[in-house]
Chain A
Amino acid sequence: RKEVEQDPGPFNVPEGATVAFNCTYSNSASQSFFWYRQDCRKEPKLLMSVYSSGNEDGRFTAQLNRASQYISLLIRDSKLSDSATYLCVVRLNTGFQKLVFGTGTRLLVSP
């Protein structure tokens, strides 16, 4: 089983729609959680960290459910420019700290 799992998509949504992605992690030693955005064949860029109480950044809301070991990203009022792949990233502490990247969920926003 992969340490971090995401639905690869693609999620096809019209402009203005609300879309949500989930990510599950298997290691209970997971300490911190992040969402990255990656445009086609470009470098990943940090979108937002995910805090236990949930957090919001404009149209983006991230939630963490430690009991069920999943995190989510909600995008409201989707824009064409939101089309990208969204990577779930988990920081593990298994004696040595490391980052584990998910394979990404692709989002396509159409006019």
Chain B
Amino acid sequence: EAQVTQNPRYLITVTGKKLTVTCSQNMNHEYMSWYRQDPGLGLRQIYYSMNVEVTDKGDVPEGYKVSRKEKRNFPLILESPSPNQTSLYFCASSLLAVDALRNEQYFGPGTRLTVT
């Protein structure tokens, strides 16, 4: 089954404790991205990756890192989480970047992160 998986689905952590949210897709997609969703603000792109070893900042990259060492995985790293990073996070993938812009992208189920 074609899918995007994220782990963990729920996480409560404390300020400053490094964490990683994993994202994996089994569709051999080149383009992957991370979004956060906050009440009243909609989905905002954090980082995206056009292919292996190619990543770039989205609209709200501050406080986040990503890596793309393999095509299937695109982890989101919070080196020192802060309460303002409490949010619902979605990973998404598409075959190519142009497909994402045509909205032919697959979203993961989301990760609800709370930083206290």
Q: What residues of chain A have their CB less than 8 Å away from a CB belonging to chain B? A: 4, 8, 32, 34, 36, 41-46, 49, 87, 89, 91, 97-104
Contacts and interface: CB of A to CB of B under 8 A. Distances in A.
B81 interface: no
B11 interface: no
18 contacts: A32-B101, A32-B103, A34-B103, A41-B88, A41-B112, A43-B107, A43-B108, A44-B43, A44-B107, A45-B107, A49-B103, A87-B43, A97-B101, A98-B59, A99-B45, A99-B100, A102-B42, A103-B41
Contact of A99 (B101, B107, B112): B101
Given A32-B102, A49-B103, A42 B110 contact: yes
Interface of B: 39-45, 59, 88, 90, 100-104, 107-110, 112
Contacts of B45: 98-99
B92 to A, nearest CB: 8
Nearest to B108: A43
Contact of B42 (A4, A34, A41): A4
A101 B107 CA distance: 14
Give me the 9 closest cross-chain CB pairs, A-B, nearest first: A43-B107, A101-B43, A101-B42, A103-B42, A34-B103, A46-B103, A97-B101, A91-B101, A102-B42
Nearest to A103: B42
B107 A89 contact: no
B96 to A, nearest CB: 12
A42 B4 CA distance: 13
Contacts of A87: 42-43
B109 A43 contact: yes
Contacts of A98: 45, 59, 101
